[in-house]
Structure 1
Amino acid sequence: MNGADETKEDLSPASPSEIAEALIHGLRYDGRRRVHDADELMARVVAERLVEHLERSGFVLCRRPGAPQPDATPHRHPHGR
């Protein structure tokens, strides 16, 4: 079995809340830097609507076990610029 086969077997469906949180993070942050043109409420509304649309369209998103959750902490990374 090669690495690609092992990765596929390790995938599990992501929950709607996990997908929404990842989208919210992507709408509010560029890496660890806060993007100030996306309000928290608007990011949540957009993410939830996108998740609903993806579910209705039959998409299944998966994640690897142990994949890190988005980090929305306002603290800077100690090794960042």
Structure 2
Amino acid sequence: MIEDTPPDLRPASLEEIEASLSHGLRYDGRRKVHTADEMMARITAERLVAYLQACGYVILRRTGAPAPSTSAHHHPHAEPG
């Protein structure tokens, strides 16, 4: 474990980092970004993670923090209510 790390932080797994980067490439907050499709976002996230890992980066994550999700988000063109 990393020295001087607060107790509620832990190293993020490669899969968590890829999922977060991919989500960030596909969504701007709750809005889907239509300039980046699923495949390109996944490939870009994988390459970024590989590069960060090769450079020796360690990314920390709060224990119990939820993974990015759009399941509770409403479609921007959906009828309210």
TM-score under structure 2 normalisation?
Answer: 0.80
Indicate the residue corresponding to 1:30 in structure 2. Answer: 28
What is the percent sequence identity of the aligned residues?
Answer: 59
- Number of residue pairs matched by the alignment: 73
TM-score under structure 1 normalisation?
Answer: 0.80
Indicate the residue corresponding to 2:55 in structure 1. Answer: 57
Query: Within 5 A, what are the aligned runs for 1:1-81?
Result: 8-73=6-71, 75-76=73-74
Once the two structures are superposed, what CA deviation does each residue of 1:23-59 show, in whole Å capped at 9, x if it has no partner?
Answer: 0000000111100000110000000000000000000
RMSD: 2.2
Structure 1 moving runs of 4+ over 4 Å: none
Structure 1 spans left out of the alignment, 5+ residues: none
